[in-house]
Structure 1
Amino acid sequence: MPTITTTYRTPELTDGNIAGETIGNLGSGDRVVFATNVDIESVGRDNTAAAAFEVDSVDEARVNNWAIGEDAKFTFGNGNDTINFNANRTGDITMVGRGGNDSLYSARGNDTLDGGAGDDLLVGRGGNDTLLGGAGKDDLRGGGGTDTLRGNGGDDVLDGGSGDDTLVGGQGNDELTGGAGTDTFTVTSQAGKTDVITDFEFADEKINVNGVNAVSSITHSDIGGGGTRIVFENGYTLDLNGVDENEFTFANNAGRIDIAGSTDPVDPVDPVDPDPEPNTDLGGVNGDFFSLLYG
């Protein structure tokens, strides 16, 4: 088996036909560039040093069981890439998928996974990870740490896993699940858009709704086994599965609102912060878990 061992600052492999070759002794400033379609299997050792790898692939890159000892950054091309690191490695890894439908799996460090364009699968595993979707229909799955998941564009599915996570839906019709832990959800109001939060807990979790105008109605929803549907005047809909609509009080300058299933209308209260873009609480007992940010 041919072996390539180098201590150059910027080694580059530009021939796509490198099957069976080994790259070793990479230092902290080294970068490896694969120019075309590659398939990398079981790469690395326990003492693998920090490095940056760029796969400028127009087709596909597959990396399985890559062992990283230190921090590293990996940038992949526009193909459909599958990157799976050794789950027991603790270095902090950054992976950038760019275009294509990518599947990026982190290790146990505090990793950053950026799917880029395409319909991507990002899996955080252990550590406090940051998962960034792009313009496609992305599937973001946090692990055991305190993770941040951002769907950005497209119709995305976000699942924080265990830990106290932050989930940001962004544009598109998104489904957000916090999982175990105390989670914070952020969604963005858009005309004709519907977001779903599947497991909101009244006691200690929070929802931020950005860019809203007045609320039109709060009604019962049969979606997801029953819950609450909040419809805003611009046509944006937020479904809260498992949440009873009668648990809400409503605060808005526009006046009273009737909550479905309740015999008494709820009187309005003053906004918490009556500035030109006030925050308005839509809350339960404490009145502080639901923040409406007027746009």
Structure 2
Amino acid sequence: MTPTTQHLRAARYTWGGDEFLFVEIAEAMSLTANFTANAMASALAARTVDGIVDICPANASLLVRFDPDVIPPGSLEELVRDIEHEVAQLSEQTLETRIVEVPVWYDDPYTGETVARFRKGHQRPEGTDLDFAAEENGLPSAAEFIRRHHSSPWLVSMVGFVAGLPFMFQIVPQEEQLEVPKYLSPRTDTPPLTVGHGGCFACVYSVRGAGGYQMFGIAAAPIFDPAQRLADFEDFMIFFKPGDIVKFKPVGEEEYRAIQAEVAAGTFTYRQAPVTFDLQRALDNPTTYNRDIMETLNGL
């Protein structure tokens, strides 16, 4: 990531059938491209335009579903292009969001058992996914990889693949990002709440199912609650939203079990706090900015 705001070319607009407008902001993920996607989505939602059914920001793009009988495609495109121009001209590139602490039991037995079952589809049949990740990133040990994984915040760049699964992008300079390839052959099983990694993206698997990301640990609390039992899901069954910032907190077995008991009792709530994400500060001085933004949780 360069130390100044990256300038993006004009977005590419295409249509998906009669109901979808796809806006490709950039070909590659970056903090700037993702900020633009979220800022455009927020601005479009604030207009409360009749005929717009859904607005879905992604890593470096925006998808708008609309009813062509209510808003003509040409009118929608003109509106979204105007918003793109407004976002590009912003003097302060900030986004009102929140930082959330996600407890993770790294190197846990659940993902460990699954890792052992699927070594034939892995680049490195011996060892574990954590061993492989450390080696791929030139780090001396799995413990150092875990430290690097939880010592900086992650931006939720999009939510998808399965219900409620967040893709997360590390808020560090590009040369410091943790990068690990996916499995050579996808697994047919992944434990729910697995903390995974593929390419430059981290994720938390919201439900049990197939997957190909490297597995590093397991989150202690749900991120998808269809029954909406827990207070954090009172408004919506999916916890994460694009633009959220995540701070992973390493926990041991005892704390993991205690959190699981709170979840079962219906009393668990995530530690979270409102923050203003400042794109320019994140690009100019990520080390200082990351420390400041994570310290927002310390006063809770």
* Smaller-chain TM-score bracket: under 0.3
Structure ID, larger Rg? 1
Tell me the TM-score normalized by structure 1. Answer: 0.23
Tell me the TM-score normalized by structure 2. Answer: 0.23
**More helix per residue:** 2
